[in-house]
Amino acid sequence: MKDMRELLKIERKMVGLLETEAEVSREDLDDALFYAVSMNRPQAKVKFEKLKRLYEFQQHNLEVRTPIPEAERVTAAQVEEARKKAILNPSAKGRVEYAMLQRALSYQEDRDAELAEIKQQDKQEQRELAKEQRVQSADQKLTEELQAAYKQQLEAKNAAFDEVNQ
């Protein structure tokens, strides 16, 4: 009986998290897994999978939003210094430090290149949007001019019709 209450409590919490898309913790995910295994129903497994996807999405967004602080950035000089230390003192610790710094520098360079590419794409999209807005503005102006000309043409015809009928 106590287990059933616990399962119902977990289910309500899962449903609430899925409906509100609130922050999902690792403990919530563990509880959901316990629920899915205990209930052994397809619906329970589906709820667990949805909660797991929400958790992964939130973790990915958290990683994307968290920039690398400037203090933690690795420079090429640091990598070169670690390489020299690893050559002079060939210990596992020195080689590991060099490899870690080299990997971090490579990651930073890739990330910087990716950010530069995103900025380039944003600029291109802004240029395209501005061009599209100019075209729409020109089309609107042309439409207004054509409507004004048509209105004048109708007024001239109405005036001619009024003269004939008087």
Q: Token pair of 152, please?
A: 């004048």
Q: Which pLDDT does position 146 carry in this prediction?
A: 94
d(CA 68, CA 41): 43
Q: How is 15-78 classified by DSSP, letter by letter?
A: HHHHHHTPPPPHHHHHHHHHHHHHH--HHHHHHHHHHHHHHHHHHHHHHHHSPPPGGG---HHH
Q: pLDDT tens across 65-101, in order? A: 666 566 578 888 989 998 898 888 888 888 888 988 8
Give helix 2-20 / helix 26-39 axis angle, nearest 10°: 130
Q: 3-class SS at 133?
A: helix
Q: Which pLDDT does position 115 carry in this prediction?
A: 86
Q: Token pair of 32, please?
A: 């959901």
Q: Which pLDDT does position 28 carry in this prediction?
A: 92
Mean pLDDT by 10 residues, the chain (166 residues): 81 88 90 90 89 88 66 84 88 88 89 88 88 90 94 91 84
Q: Token pair of 51, please?
A: 């909660």
d(CA 161, CA 103): 86
Contact between 23 and 58 (Cβ < 8 Å): yes
Question: What is the percentage of the chain residues whose pLDDT exceeds 70?
Answer: 94
d(CA 25, CA 49): 14
